Structure 1
Amino acid sequence: MAKSYANYLKKHTEALVKDVGIEAACALTGKSKATLGRYYSNNEEHADRFMPVDAVVALEAASSYPHVTSALAEVRGITLSYDESSPNEKRGGVNSDVVALSQRFAVLMGEYNQSIEDGVISVNEAKRLLQETTALQKVLIEMKLHLEQEAD
């Protein structure tokens, strides 16, 4: 596997574990904190370790967003879409989605403005930008779902 993809998947694995919470992730997967940490560790000794698919499924069922599945799709150039039975579906509509989209985009631009102020985006700043980008992506997925419902 290309190293860039490996790091990308490990970052999304870490986001998934943190989304669910480390204690809950341990309970859901039957894995220890140390084992879960190895799945997203960038240390050379753990470079070939990835979370098993059954653990990803268990965690994504409890998470607010399918972090690893989304990352795998992005690596392949695939766009994901939730169906109407999605447990993550929120009530509202396109109008509320537009408001949420505007708010998320404003937060992302604010983070970017702060991050680029010194001409360099640090690792922590990049992580904050990634979180905001992921939040924006969630809103877009919800908006797409609502638009698909209205088109039916």
Structure 2
Amino acid sequence: MVDPTPDTAAHPRFAEALRELGLDVEVRRFPDATRTAAEAAAAIGCELSQIVKSLVFEADGQPVVVLMDGSSRVDVELVRRELGAGSVRRANAALVRETTGYAIGGVPPFGHRTRTRVLADRGLLDHGTVWAAAGDPHTVFPLDPKALVAHADGTLVDVRERSA
């Protein structure tokens, strides 16, 4: 059961999403921003690959969220093929905020303003616990990666950039 008091570290929209999903997670707030995966991993004391980046792309004009581990990069061509899209590119800050309701650096994996297609890289499942943004650049929360993907209504895919 989620504590109904408004004394939460999470962004209000995200806190509401947690309540609606019945999720009781520990949201941690840090005095310094955890805007990048490296900053978040250092603040938490976890591996970089345990950080979940919620990245917004534009596929043929439609937003799509890609969940990727913090130590990897998204292969845009693999995303394009997965979606059957003609073109895929990173969304600009305005589209990110319009689609998710959050600013870059604080986008959580779910609890977005609009229902958006979500692709989750299979590499997230390599960990027992992953950490994701809780709606702003100062907050994170831990969750089992399978539960995170399920709550995001994500499709498991292989879209990680492979090193040469």
**Bucket of the pairwise TM-score, normalised by the shorter protein:** under 0.3
Tell me: higher relative CO, structure 1 or 2? Use CA pairs within 8 A at least 6 residues apart: 2
Larger Rg computed on CA atoms = 1
Give me the TM-score of the superposition, normalised by structure 1: 0.25
**Per residue, is there more helix in 1 or in 2?**
1
